[in-house]
Amino acid sequence: MKIKLVDLSANYHSIKDEIDMAMAEVIENTAFVMGPYVEEFESKWATYCGVENAIGVASGTDAVRLAVNGLGIGPGDEVITVSNTFIATAEAVSANGATPVFVDVDRDTFCLDAARIESALTKWTKAVLCVHLYGHPCDMDEIMRIASVNNLFVIEDCAQSHGALYKGRQTGSIGDVGCFSMFPAKILGAFGDAGAIVTNRNDVADRIRLQRNHGRTSKYNSIVEGGNARLDALQAGILAVKLKHLDKWISSRRALAARYHENLAGVVETPIERQWATHPYYMYVIRTPKRDTLLTHLQSRHIECGIHYPIPLHLQQAYSRMNLRSGSLPVTEQAANEILSIPLFPEMNIETQDKVIASILEFF
C-alpha cells in the first residue's frame, strides 16, 4: 500500500461529523459571503495568534500580496526575501509593482539569513519578507533589529508555520504583518483555497479589509478601488472547526518528528530546531547528498516524498529578467539538491512511520 506524504482523507475522517455539521449549518443559513462565519473565524484566529486583527482572505497568495500592498509598498520599491520558497512569496512583491531581492539562507534552518540583509540594502529597500520555511521560525529578533535600524517593514510569510513559536510568540505576531495560507495541505488547511492576514497595526488592517472587498465600506459605497479576495464562508466554518484541533495535531506532528530524529540522526541530516523555536513540522525535511537515489528507492517502496523546492526562484524562467546565474545563492542551491520531504501528518500511525524509517535505513 502507498504511503502518502500528507493524508488529507485521514484528517477529514478523524473529524468528519463536526465538519459535516459545520458545513450544513453554513449552507442552511445561506451565509456564503462574508458575514458571521468569516467574522467568527477571524476573531478566533486573531486570539490564537495573539494579535489585534485577523483578516480572512481567499488564499495565501492573496494574503502576501495584500500584506505588501497594505504597507504601501509599490513601484520602485525593493523587498528582501528568499529564493527557496513557493513562488507566491515573490509574486506578491511583483504583483504590487515592487521588486523582490533574493538573499541566501541559513544552512541549518533553511530560513532567511539575517546576516545577509544589510549587504542587500539599497535606498529603495522597503521591507524584509521572511518565510518560516517548513514551519521553523526565522531568527526574528535579529531580523527585527536590522529592520528597525534601517527603517524597514517586516512581513512574515507564515504559510507553513501555523502554531510555530518564536521565543513563545506565534509567528505572524512579531513583524508588521503575518500572512497565512489555509491551502488544504497546510498545517491548518481548508477544503479549498483560503488564507488569513494577522497584524497589530490597525491602519494596515483597515487598508487590507478594504482591498479584499472592492474598497467597500457598505454594500454600494467604495472609498478606494480594491478587488475580491474574500475568505469563503464555507471555508471559514471548516477552519473554525479545525482550529479546535490544531494544537493536538501539532503535538502529534512533533511526536512523529521526534521519532524520525531518534531513528534517522547520523544516517541523514535531520531538521534542526533552534533552542528558541517550537517547530510544528509542516514538512519533515531530511538532507543527504544521495537525495536523488534515495528518492528513487523510496518511490520503489511506494513511499511518496516531496522536494520543497527543487528549483530556487532565482533560477526559474519566471525570474530570468534578474539575470541571476547558478552559483549566486550557493546555500540555497546546494540545499535544493539535497533536501527531501518525507511523510508526516498528524494521523500517521507508528507502523506506517516505521516502514518509512526502515526503507531509509535499508537504503543506507
Ligand X SMILES: *Cc1c(COP(=O)(O)O)cnc(C)c1O
Residue 64 vs 66, nearer CB to ligand X: 64
By CB under 6 A, residue 155 contacts ligand X: no
Residue 86 vs 102, nearer CB to ligand X: 86
By CB under 6 A, residue 159 contacts ligand X: yes
Site string (98-137) toward ligand X, x via CB under 6 A: ---------------------------------x------
By CB under 6 A, residue 332 contacts ligand X: no
By CB under 6 A, residue 278 contacts ligand X: no
Give the cell for residue 207: 487598508
By CB under 6 A, residue 213 contacts ligand X: no
Do residues 156 and 49 lie in contact, with contact meaning Cβ atoms separated by under 8 Å? Answer: no
Site string (242-261) toward ligand X, x via CB under 6 A: --------------------
By CB under 6 A, residue 161 contacts ligand X: no
Among 69, 96, 109, 160, binds ligand X (CB under 6 A): 160
By CB under 6 A, residue 171 contacts ligand X: no
By CB under 6 A, residue 88 contacts ligand X: yes
Instruction: State the amino acid at position 130 in one-letter form.
Output: C
Do residues 71 and 176 lie in contact, with contact meaning Cβ atoms separated by under 8 Å? Answer: yes
Q: In this structure, what are the phi and psi dihedrals at residue 299, rounded to the nearest 5 degrees?
A: -65, -40
Task: Give me the long-range contacts of 319-326 (CB less than 8 A, separation at least 24).
Answer: 319/90, 322/102, 324/102
Residue ranges in contact with ligand X by CB under 6 A: 59-61, 64, 85-86, 88-89, 131, 157, 159-160, 181, 183, 193, 195
